[in-house]
Structure 1
Amino acid sequence: MLFAGATMWFTTSIGKPANTPLLVISTLVKGDDAMMNGSASAPVGLALHMALSVLFGAVFVALVSRLRTNGALAFAGLVYGGLLYIVNFQILGRAAFHAFLMPDQPFEVVVHLVFGALLALASFNSGIRRGGRLLGGLRGVEPR
């Protein structure tokens, strides 16, 4: 929800309606021409974006479960966010979902990198990384 809100704020700052990002996302199920023919749907876009965010988060957690340090996890989060942007906007957007080429691309890069970083942050000090160092020598939560 945080990213949807930030993207909607940014969209209004460049003179477009706030629901434009949700309409763009809805083209994944409504079809690439949904933006042009008016059948794009903000509620469909919101539901789809939330579901995909949960799915991408679960995939990230499964992929990084063997990482031993918080630093490696932070790096993996940034790489993952960057890969999400590349696959979603540059590969799938150019191949099949042309509405994804409309948003401001530098903004989308930043938002997806932050998404990956927050995924990593949410995974810090869990499982095998519990008690590991965070930043600047601070210790994480010690196991009980």
Structure 2
Amino acid sequence: MKVVLQRVSKASVTIGREIPAVIGNGLLILLGIVEEDTPDDINWLTNKIVNLRIFGDDNGVMNKSVKDVNGDIIVVSQFTLHALTKKGNRPSYIKAAKPDIAVPLYESFVKQLEINLGKIVQTGQFGAMMQVSLVNDGPVTIIIDTKNKE
């Protein structure tokens, strides 16, 4: 499981003419899933995300978590995070989990994130063509891969 976390002052997801997700201060999370991902990956990653100290304290030092600042979260499925680009110029997405595996893991990830955060997490729509807008605050962008957690 791989995520790109972006600390945002605002973010939204648009699908067609609908805007299913809008937040202010918080995190925009792009989530990529592979077939080898497990519930243990979800538990470790969601705990890491809500406790990661990447928000400023009163002295401007990154010392607070999204939970500490009562921030919001949007999660967007992003199979392209697992693109293989070594050969040729067309990325291969063969490592990305197929929907029958990815959707339940995606839904479980969002549910566990809500439990750890203590509030509703907004989402895009799995598999949909989406437009994601954000104002990256800092900018702060962090990549976490559960295959590199040790």
The TM tier, using the shorter chain, reads under 0.3
Point out the structure with the larger strand share.
Answer: 2
**Bigger relative CO (Cα 8 Å, ≥ 6 apart):** 2
Point out the structure with the larger helix share.
Answer: 1
